[in-house]
Amino acid sequence: MNNHERTVLLLTLLLIVIVVSIDLVTDLRQGVVAWHVIAEGSTALIALGGIGYLLQQGLQLRRALKKERRLTANLQQEAARWRQQSKRYLAGLSAMIDTQLTHWGLSPAEREVAFLLLKGLSLKEISMLRGTVEKTAKAQSIAIYAKAGLNGRSELSAFFLEDLLPAAEHSEADVKPALSPSD
């Protein structure tokens, strides 16, 4: 339920409480039967309960939203700190990647496509970003892989990123023996 719907419901319940309360006062002055007064009084109490519930839920929602905003702000600060701390390293990595792409003999357009592939963009996204057709991005990616002697995007990414991850420690039990030709 959005804020507008919550407000409309709250005002409707408040109006019901007011109208029923006025009617109750009038009924009591006129000596209306008890069951009628009890029924209308119950209606007013139920509407008041609904108002209380809506107000309570609204407060809980505001608290949760405030908590989420604090968490988001903290995560944004953490990300900004990480980017700032790693800026020098990322610039160095970017320069080293560009050097390797140049060493492979990639054209400036192919180097740009290679960087976009490493960022994880699809061929369609690359073509839209560069203002070309998807076939051009595909042809350039194939040329990149051929010039680099790689078999595709995963090998391109692994070429540059494989050593960034810490090596996993394996016990001898984790390592599977090679199959012999008779297997």
In a domain, 174, yes or no: no
In a domain, 37, yes or no: yes
**Is 116 found in the same domain as 61?**
no
What is the tens place of the pLDDT at every residue in 160-182?
A: 888 776 766 655 555 454 444 44
Look at residue 135 and tell me whether its pLDDT is greater than 60: yes
Q: What's the confidence (pLDDT) of residue 174?
A: 52
Does pTM top 0.75 for this prediction? no
Q: Look at residue 90 and tell me if it is in a domain.
A: no
> Do residue 61 and residue 124 come from a single domain?
no
Per the structure, the complete domain to which residue 49 belongs is given by 3-77
Name which of 68, 90, 138 is nearest 110 in CA terms: 138
69 with 111, same domain?
Answer: no
Cα radius of gyration rounded to whole Å, the chain = 34
CATH of the domain at 115: 1.10.10.10
Mean of pLDDT values over 72-88: 91
The total of structural domains in the chain comes to 2
Q: Are residues 131 and 72 in the same domain?
A: no
**16-71 pLDDT tens trace:** 999 999 999 998 889 889 898 999 999 999 999 999 999 999 899 999 999 999 99
**Beta-carbon contacts of residue 93 (< 8 Å; ≥ 6 apart):** 160
Q: Does one domain contain both 21 and 65?
A: yes
Closest CA to 113 of 155, 89, 145: 145
Q: How many CB atoms lie within 10 A of CB 177?
A: 6
